Structure 1
Amino acid sequence: MGSTRRRPLLVPALLCVLVFFVARPSTAGGEARGGPGGDSGAGARVMRLYEDASAVERQYEEGRRQAVALWAEADRAARTRARAGQGRVAAGGGPAGAARPTRGRREVSRTESGDGTEAPASARGDSGLAAEEARARSRWRAAERRNAVLAGARRTVLARLEEARSALEAEAEASVAAGSCRGAVRLGRPAAGHRAGWVAPVGTYRVSAGFGEGGGHWAHRHTGQDFAVPVGTPVRAVGAGRVVRVSCGGAFGIAVEVEHPDGDRTRYAHLADVTVERGRRVAAGEWIGQSGTTGNSTGPHLHFEVRTGARPGSAVDPVPWLARHGIAVR
């Protein structure tokens, strides 16, 4: 059976990175809105903190997996001692997610008998087993201490992300109230399209209100598909096209409309921020905004709409439309 003791642990350099995540200020630098000299804005801060949170989360989950593996190694050492039938059982515990271990560990055996004479070879062998178990438990405890640091960094980054989301939402509401867009924001990375084809408008989501639903929230019926996502989630162009409209008011709040080569149009509404301007050509998967809850909205989500042209009343159900382009909405 292979040992996990050589599995790389979280090194001190990682902890230095985490200190950087926690210590760096929550204002974003070098991520200007519009052109040179523009202000940074909450949208750029939210995007940066999303990336920080994602990095910390990955390290935290990896640390938890390592802790479980190291606990299993310590447990195997304890089971080896138990099979040897030596020592006394003492209670012990393990990390969350670990399989229920052998209950406790064997105490380190004495190398001498009670009368001062040398203990038999079996006792000396037990001493070696006890030392192996102690080393395994020491590695596990070190991993648990690192995980405690990771957990603290994770809480700090997530708290800052929530603060930035609130600031972004406030900026968006002020923009809608004024009836004027604030201009495109650069989110600190180049516009990156996917391979030729189509993508979902957001990455991770929960499907909410569907096309054609009725109720007091809509004048007649719901004209799109809603994707429930947190404020500040990157919104992507589902396919290549040209931005034909950017609006900041009314029932849709902040919204972007893209016309695709076949004449169909897609609308992305209730945004908190936009990253494109009218006339801009976009690629499939390119970030065009950040989700929000502006306009006639009951909570953070993306309203995604498909129209077969510019005329009113041409909205079609986005789910089968996306399916025809190879995108399954679940």
Structure 2
Amino acid sequence: MRSPRRLPLLVPVLLCALAVLAARPTDGMDGDGGSGTGTQVARLYADAARATRQYEDGRREAEAQRSKALEYEKRLDRQRQKIDAMHEDLGRIASAQYRGAGSLPLTAQLLLADDPDGWMRGQRALDRADMAVNNAIGRSLRAEAQLAADEAKARATWRALEERNADLAELKKEIEGKLEAARARLDGEADASVSAGSCPGAVRPDPPDTNFGRDWVAPVETYTLSASFGSGGARWANRHTGQDFAVPVGTPVRSVGAGRVVKVSCGGAFGMQVVVQHAGGYYTQYAHLAAVAVDQGDRVRPGQWVGQSGSTGNSTGPHLHFEVRVTPEMGSALDPVPWLSQRGVAL
């Protein structure tokens, strides 16, 4: 039986962590013993990112196997050709087994032999013919059995790879659905808190890896740049004083460098916000947040989460408003894009 096309070689199963992701609770307590939507969003965000990475890894692995699958199919074709050739050899050997140099069968030659030597020569020829037939049959049977095993293994491997990728896609969809619902709750809770003038406490999810190996990073990992420094619009009294990053509600917001948190507040045009002081007399502001992950006075590292993006305050949609200042207050802003570029961060 011929195997289906596009059969890959055996691939390592890199996706065993799916079961952990699927079973992982997302409604548990946060790092400080509290609970809340912000913590759920943070954990779901991390789970969604992890599931997405594994899904993409699985897709890349499948693509990498396709070239190997073509080579493997060629090998199977060569095996089939060898088996066909063996079958032809068997036919020729069987035809020649009972025929001698002339037209008489070998058994007749033995009966008509004039001397013992001739009889022995005939017997040896007959034995060699039998051995050749038996060896050819054995090789053919072994080759056919190996071919069948290889084809079955290849089909099973391809089915398993496709099933795992389908499971990954379903898991990714499920997590993203939960994340979207949690983001909506977080956005509503944040607006209610700001309207009431009662800022929620710091959400402290499991700390992510912040060993970036560099001193400065972008404030969010994945984003679309929107309103830029100095741009005009009806939303601002004068000019825009920062750089906006369009990101979904709940996106982790990171401190761009090492420093100390000098302000955590909610209310007013910036909604929930965090201000961090850095060496050299610079300050960075992270505004319109839906949740904060630090308290005033905390020391932060490059890339450490300081909050989660939102749409609180004077905002028409979820985004991060990021400013660089030379004082902790408004009115001393610098263009953040060249400031970050000078520190090795290209936006």
Q: TM-score, normalised by structure 2?
A: 0.73
> 2:290 is aligned with what amino acid?
A
Q: Would you say 1:282 and 2:300 are equivalent positions?
A: yes
Q: Which has the higher helix share?
A: 2
> Following the alignment from structure 1 to structure 2, what is the Cα–Cα distance between the partners of residues 67 and 325?
39
CA separation of 1:20/1:126 partners in 2, compared to 1, >3 Å: closer, same or farther? Answer: closer
> Following the alignment from structure 2 to structure 1, what is the Cα–Cα distance between the partners of residues 342 and 249?
29
Asked if 2 retains the 8 angstrom alpha-carbon contact of 1:237 and 1:284, the reply is yes
Secondary structure of the corresponding residue to residue 230 of structure 2: coil
> 2:256 is aligned with what amino acid?
V
> Following the alignment from structure 2 to structure 1, what is the Cα–Cα distance between the partners of residues 213 and 80?
62
Percent identity reads 53
Tell me whether 68-77 or 219-228 shows the greater mean CA deviation: 68-77
Structure 1: any 5+ residue segments left out of the alignment?
87-107
CA separation of 1:195/1:70 partners in 2, compared to 1, >3 Å: closer, same or farther? Answer: closer
> Following the alignment from structure 2 to structure 1, what is the Cα–Cα distance between the partners of residues 213 and 180?
32
> 1:257 is aligned with what amino acid?
V
The structural deviation recorded for 1:180 is 2.1
CA separation of 1:185/1:147 partners in 2, compared to 1, >3 Å: closer, same or farther? Answer: same
- Residue 18 of structure 1 corresponds to 18
Secondary structure of the corresponding residue to residue 202 of structure 1: coil
- Residue 270 of structure 1 corresponds to 288
- Residue 29 of structure 2 corresponds to 29
Q: Would you say 1:5 and 2:23 are equivalent positions?
A: no
What aligned pairs does 1:1-330 form with structure 2 within 5 A after superposition?
A: 5-10=9-14, 14=16, 17-32=17-32, 39-80=34-75, 129=147, 132-189=150-207, 192=210, 197-310=215-328, 312-329=330-347
Question: For each residue in 1:66-111, what CA deviation from the matched residue of structure 2 results, as whole angstroms up to 9, or x when unmatched?
Answer: 333444444334344557896xxxxxxxxxxxxxxxxxxxxx98x9
Question: For each residue in 1:132-167, what CA deviation from the matched residue of structure 2 results, as whole angstroms up to 9, or x when unmatched?
Answer: 344322211121122222222221111111111112
> Following the alignment from structure 1 to structure 2, what is the Cα–Cα distance between the partners of residues 250 and 228?
20
CA separation of 1:137/1:195 partners in 2, compared to 1, >3 Å: closer, same or farther? Answer: closer
Question: For each residue in 1:270-295, what CA deviation from the matched residue of structure 2 results, as whole angstroms up to 9, or x when unmatched?
Answer: 11111112222323322211111111
Asked if 1 retains the 8 angstrom alpha-carbon contact of 2:8 and 2:154, the reply is no
Structure 2: any 5+ residue segments left out of the alignment?
1-6, 95-135
Tell me whether 147-156 or 314-323 shows the greater mean CA deviation: 147-156
> 2:41 is aligned with what amino acid?
V
What is the total number of aligned residue pairs between the two structures?
295
Asked if 2 retains the 8 angstrom alpha-carbon contact of 1:233 and 1:290, the reply is yes
- Residue 99 of structure 1 corresponds to none
> Following the alignment from structure 1 to structure 2, what is the Cα–Cα distance between the partners of residues 280 and 270?
20
Question: For each residue in 1:221-243, what CA deviation from the matched residue of structure 2 results, as whole angstroms up to 9, or x when unmatched?
Answer: 11100112221121122222222
Question: For each residue in 1:26-52, what CA deviation from the matched residue of structure 2 results, as whole angstroms up to 9, or x when unmatched?
Answer: 3122434xxx5xx31111111111222
The structural deviation recorded for 1:312 is 4.2
CA separation of 1:28/1:137 partners in 2, compared to 1, >3 Å: closer, same or farther? Answer: same
CA separation of 1:143/1:175 partners in 2, compared to 1, >3 Å: closer, same or farther? Answer: same
CA separation of 1:192/1:55 partners in 2, compared to 1, >3 Å: closer, same or farther? Answer: closer
> Following the alignment from structure 1 to structure 2, what is the Cα–Cα distance between the partners of residues 144 and 238?
40
Asked if 2 retains the 8 angstrom alpha-carbon contact of 1:70 and 1:136, the reply is no
The structural deviation recorded for 1:209 is 1.0
> 2:11 is aligned with what amino acid?
R
Question: For each residue in 1:147-206, what CA deviation from the matched residue of structure 2 results, as whole angstroms up to 9, or x when unmatched?
Answer: 222222221111111111112111211111111211212112279575573222112222
Q: Which has the greater radius of gyration?
A: 2
- Residue 104 of structure 1 corresponds to none
CA separation of 1:311/1:130 partners in 2, compared to 1, >3 Å: closer, same or farther? Answer: closer
Asked if 2 retains the 8 angstrom alpha-carbon contact of 1:74 and 1:137, the reply is no
> 1:41 is aligned with what amino acid?
G
> 2:53 is aligned with what amino acid?
R
Asked if 1 retains the 8 angstrom alpha-carbon contact of 2:9 and 2:72, the reply is no
> 1:306 is aligned with what amino acid?
V
Secondary structure of the corresponding residue to residue 207 of structure 2: coil
Secondary structure of the corresponding residue to residue 12 of structure 2: coil
> Following the alignment from structure 1 to structure 2, what is the Cα–Cα distance between the partners of residues 169 and 154?
22
Secondary structure of the corresponding residue to residue 268 of structure 2: coil
